[in-house]
Amino acid sequence: MLFLTDLQGRDVIWGKLAATSVNALYGLLAILPMLVIPLQLGGVAGGVVWRVALILLNTLFFSLALGMYISTINKDERVAVAATVGLLVLSAILPWITGFFLDQYLAVDQRLAIWVFSLSTPYAFIICLAKFMPSAPMGSATPNLWLSVALYHLAAWWLLWRAAKILPQVWQSDAKRGLLGRWQDALEQWGYGRAEKRRRHRARLLDRNPFLWHASRDRLKPWYVWLLLVSVGGTWAANHLDSRSPFFDDDSFLPACAILNLFFKVWVASEACVRLMSDRQAGALELLLSTPLSTGEIIHGQWLALRRQFLCPAIVMLAVEYYGLHFRLPFLPIATAMLVFMLDIGAIGWVSLWLGLRAKNTAHALLIATALVLLFPAAVGVILTVFFDALLGPGFTLNATIYLWCALGLVTDVGVGYFWARTQLRRRFRQVALK
C-alpha cells in the first residue's frame, strides 16, 4: 500500500529506521553516563570515554542498517533476525581470525593486516582499551582506530542505500525481482537441498515422526550450531596463541563458558517456540490436528527436532568445558553444573513450547521464557551470593557458589519447566492451538 502513494523507497527506509532505532538509541544514551564514572574516579582519560561512546553509536548504526537490509530482502521475521545476528557475529570473528593468521603466520604487509583487522567490529573497542587489555590479540600491526570506524560507517550507509533501492521491487513477484529473486531461491535451495536430497531427507525423518520432518526441513540446522562452536573456538585459540597465555586460564575460561552456555540456551528457546507459533499463525497447526497425529506425537516430534539440532554440539561443548575446568575445580561441582545445564535446556524448551503456542510473537515468548528459567534464578543467585559472601567471607568458596546457583536452577527447572509448562502443554495443547 505504501508504494501506491508518492512515498519512495528511501522514505520508507528512513521512517522505519527512525521508528525502530528510538529504543536502542535511548538505551545507549542511558548507558553513556555510566561510562563517565571511571573518568571521575581517575585512571581513564576523557578521550577514551568519548571515543568509546562514538564507537558504540557507530556500531549501533551499522547493526540497525544491517538489520534493515536483511529484513528488506527476507519476508520471514525470524530468518531475518537470525541472519542479522549471524552476520554480526561473523563480522566480529572472521576478520579477526583472518587478520591474526595473516599477520602472525603469513607475514603479509602490515597495511593489509590492518585493513583486515579493521573489518572486525570489536577492533575499534580493543584499540581504545588496549591499555587495559594488554593480552588482546592485536597482532604486530600498528592499530588504526579511525579506519575501522570509517569502514563500518560507510558500510552502514551503503546498506541503507541498497535497502532503499531494492525495497520497491520486493513486494512484486519473484519474476520481477531479477537477481534478488534468484539469489533468494539459491539460498533456499542451499538450505533445503535439491529435489533428490529433499526426498531422501523427508523419507528418513517421516519414518520416525511426521512432525520431526516438518520441524527439520532445513537440513543444515545442525551445522549452524557447529559453525557457532567452531567460530568461538577459533577466536579463543587465536586470542591465546597471540597472547601466549594458557588456553584454560582461570580469569577468562569460566566467564566464557557461562556466556556460551547462556547463548546456547536462548538459541534452544528460540527454536522451540518459533515452530509452533509459526504453524498456529499460518493455520497449519489446525490442519495438523485434523490428521491422525496426536498432540503427544507433535510435541515428541518437536523435541526430536531439537535433539537433532543441538544434542551432539552440546555434548562436545560440555566435554571441552569439563576438560578446561577440571584443572581448577573438583569433579562434583563440574558434574552438578553440567547436569543443571541439561535440565535448563529441557526446562526452557518446555516453557518455550508452551509460550510459543500462546504468545503473539516470537520476541515476546522468548523474553518471558528466558526471564522465567534463566534471568529470575540468576538474579536471586546474585543477591544470595553477595549476602553469603558478606556473611561468611572467605568461607563462602567458589564451589559453594556453584552449588547455590545449581540449586536455584534445579528448583526453577522442576517447578516452572517440568511441572507447570509441561503439564499445561500436554493438557491444553489442542484447546489453545484451535483458538
Residue ranges per structural domain of the chain: 12-192, 221-435
pLDDT exceeds cutoff 50 at 416: yes
Answer whether 111's CB lies under 8 Å from 87's CB.
no
Comparing C-alpha atoms, which of 424, 209, 384 is closest to residue 298? Answer: 209
Percentages (nearest 5) of helix, strand, coil residues in the chain: 80, 0, 20
pLDDT exceeds cutoff 60 at 282: yes
Round to whole Å and give the CA distance between 212 and 202. Answer: 10
More confident residue, 165 or 332: 332
% of the chain exceeding 90 in pLDDT: 15
Residue 177's pLDDT is: 47
Answer whether 352's CB lies under 8 Å from 303's CB.
no
pLDDT exceeds cutoff 70 at 83: yes
Amino acid at site 33: P
Round to whole Å and give the CA distance between 359 and 380. Answer: 26
Give one word for 178, left, alpha or beta, with left for phi > 0 and alpha for psi -120 to 50.
left
pLDDT exceeds cutoff 90 at 346: yes
Residue 9's pLDDT is: 67
Answer whether 273's CB lies under 8 Å from 365's CB.
yes
Comparing C-alpha atoms, which of 165, 160, 166, 157 is closest to residue 184? Answer: 166
Using DSSP, state whether 2 is helix, strand or coil: helix
- Please list the alpha-helical segments (H only) found in 36-144: 37-41, 46-73, 77-104, 110-118, 123-128
More confident residue, 31 or 75: 31
Round to whole Å and give the CA distance between 150 and 154. Answer: 6
Residue 419's pLDDT is: 92
pLDDT exceeds cutoff 80 at 285: yes
At 208-226, the pLDDT tens digits run: 888 888 888 877 788 888 8
At 252-264, the pLDDT tens digits run: 677 778 888 988 9
At 229-277, the pLDDT tens digits run: 887 877 777 666 665 555 566 566 777 788 889 889 999 998 898 888 8
179-192 helix and 145-170 helix, angle to the nearest 10 degrees: 100
**E-assigned strand segments in 320-408:** none
Answer whether 344's CB lies under 8 Å from 258's CB.
no
Q: Tell me the CA end-to-end span of the chain in Å, nearest whole number.
A: 30
Q: Read off the pLDDT band of 415 (50, 70, 90).
A: very high
Round to whole Å and give the CA distance between 56 and 60. Answer: 6
The angle subtended at Cα 270 by Cα 262 and Cα 325, nearest 5°, is: 20
pLDDT exceeds cutoff 80 at 42: no
Using DSSP, state whether 251 is helix, strand or coil: coil
pTM of the model: 0.70
**E-assigned strand segments in 206-272:** none
Residue 136's pLDDT is: 47
Amino acid at site 212: L
Residue 400's pLDDT is: 80
More confident residue, 90 or 350: 350
More confident residue, 295 or 185: 295
Q: Where do we find the cell 506425537?
A: 297
Round to whole Å and give the CA distance between 79 and 271. Answer: 11
Q: Read off the pLDDT band of 284 (50, 70, 90).
A: confident
Q: Which of 100-109, 157-166, 319-328, 398-407 has the weakest average pLDDT?
A: 100-109
Q: Read off the pLDDT band of 191 (50, 70, 90).
A: low
Average pLDDT taken over every residue of the chain: 79
At 359-381, the pLDDT tens digits run: 877 778 888 999 999 988 888 88
- Stretch 164-183: mean pLDDT: 59
At 94-131, the pLDDT tens digits run: 777 777 777 666 666 666 777 777 777 777 777 776 65
Alpha carbon separation from 221 to 3, 277, 346 (Å, rounded): 36, 18, 19
pLDDT exceeds cutoff 50 at 85: yes
Task: Say which residues have a Cβ less than 8 Å from residue 94's Cβ, sequence separation at least 6.
Answer: 120, 231
Residue 244's pLDDT is: 59
Answer whether 230's CB lies under 8 Å from 316's CB.
no
